[in-house]
Amino acid sequence: MGGHEQVVLCQDRASGLKAVIALHSTALGPGLGGTRFHAYAGEENPEEAAVMDALNLARGMSYKNALAGLPHGGGKAVIIGDPEKAKTEELLLAYGRFVASLGGRYVTACDVGTYVQDMDVIARECRWTTGRSPEQGGAGDSSVLTAFGVFQGMRASAQHLWGAPTLRGRTVGIAGVGKVGHHLVDHLLEDGARVVVTDVRTETLDRVRAAHPEVMVAADTAALVRFEGLDVYAPCALGGALDDDTVPALTARAVCGAANNQLAHPGVEKDLADRGILYAPDYVVNAGGVIQVADELLGFDFARAKAKAAKIFDTTLSIFERAETDGVPPAVAADRIAEARMAGGEGH
């Protein structure tokens, strides 16, 4: 089971709930990670696919939380079903009771298919719920600090490559300008960068162009990857963005984006390094959101959470330095630091 501490299969016949809660590690504190609501309709065995997804995502959260310096381990949950059809108040309350039954070992939040209003419902049955609305004492939309953290990772990448922590005069390509990506555009333009974007949704592109007419638009991701003069590529949509087709075609010197699980398979991190492309590990730079929801457990203070997210700059720089010292890609260096922290070491 990949070293996981606990896997809970949940079923409530009355509401139709079927869910998986995976706890990878509680070495640094209660497992913290979102609840995904997904049907796995294209899978041969949807329930098996959901379990595997929960296991992989929980493990990723252990590493993300460790490197973010949070007093949390890694956990993740999956509710199996189409959120458009299966999601009901009764089902969410039943799910909340299952999370509560773990007595605080797992703290939940939003993920794909779940939203702030869903967390407000779950919180009625479970006090170990974060990502709630400001009206319910929560932090609200976590994409604000996710984008801020990715920007800090980009500044660290610029410092490492070009000797100054700024993207001024650089060209940054963003694939996906939805919840997180459009905030990232704002940070980059304010810093003096040139920005080129792409997105599968025309209305999303139109919103960015309306706010910032100076932003360039690439026809699609393939065109953005090959964009002449690109300095930084930022995958901010789906996972697996860095694959055997993309990496050889990349014109950028650095990759730093918000998407989870950007490396399509093991070995891609070495392919990037072999091409001289600096990769800022996704789970390091996109940790602003989990920093935000973790702060909510203390009684949310935006300034305090933003100050913690600002430290992503120093963490990213230290990973690049460790990678050079050890002669390994940054993704490997990041894993080593996270594993040392989980094992009770200093991580340096």
Give 22-83 as a DSSP string.
EEEE-SSSSEE--EEEE--TTSSSHHHHHHHHHHHHHHHHHHHHHHTT-S-EEEEEEEES-H
Q: Distance between CA atoms of 193 and 11, rounded to whole angstroms?
A: 50
Maximal C-alpha separation, the chain: 60
Q: Which two tokens stand for residue 64?
A: 């993300």
Q: Which amino acid is at 4?
A: H
Active site residue 308: no
Inter-residue contact 76 to 36 (CB < 8 Å)? yes
Closest CA to 140 of 121, 120, 113: 120
What is residue 96's three-state secondary structure? helix
18, 64, 76, 87: the catalytic one is: 76
- Residue whose token pair is 């490997």: 332
So which residues are the catalytic ones?
76
